[in-house]
């Protein structure tokens, strides 16, 4: 099972098929990007005009399936199957 998992992971890495998804992020940043959240902009940055309270989307590989793969990878390393993973 570890060898099958390793080959499918290597195939996904070489073809750049690692699943990704967009995450919505709201942040008070110095560079404007995305959409300006006007109520929060007025509330937090009325005095400090050098910041923007923005909402933007970021492409992330931190998905449920990727977290599961990392968890299983760590579990296999702890169980002593690391010689199969690195060959």
Q: Evaluate the CA torsion angle 17, 22, 28, 31 in order and state its sign.
A: positive
In the chain, domain spans:
1-18+61-87, 21-60
- Rg of the chain over CA atoms, in angstroms? 21
Question: Element (H or E) spanning 53, and its range?
Answer: strand 52-60
pTM above 0.85, yes or no: no
Q: Residue 84 phi/psi, 5° resolution?
A: -75, -30
The C-alpha atoms of residue 50 and residue 25 are separated, in whole angstroms, by 19
pLDDT value at position 19?
75
Query: pLDDT by residue (tens digit) across 47-81?
Result: 888 999 999 999 988 888 778 878 887 887 787 76
Q: What is d(CA 35, CA 25) in angstroms, rounded to the nearest whole number? A: 11
How confident is the model at residue 57, as a pLDDT? Answer: 96
Average pLDDT along the chain: 82
User: What's the pLDDT at 82?
Assistant: 61
């Amino acid at each position: 099972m570890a060898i099958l998992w390793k080959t499918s992971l290597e195939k996904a890495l070489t073809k750049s098929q690692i699943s990704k998804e967009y995450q919505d992020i709201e942040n008070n940043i110095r560079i404007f990007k995305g959409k300006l959240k006007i109520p929060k902009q007025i509330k937090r940055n009325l005095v400090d005009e050098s910041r923007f309270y923005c909402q933007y989307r970021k492409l992330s590989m931190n998905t449920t399936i990727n977290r599961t793969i990392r968890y299983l990878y760590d579990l296999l390393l702890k169980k002593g199957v690391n010689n199969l993973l690195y060959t």
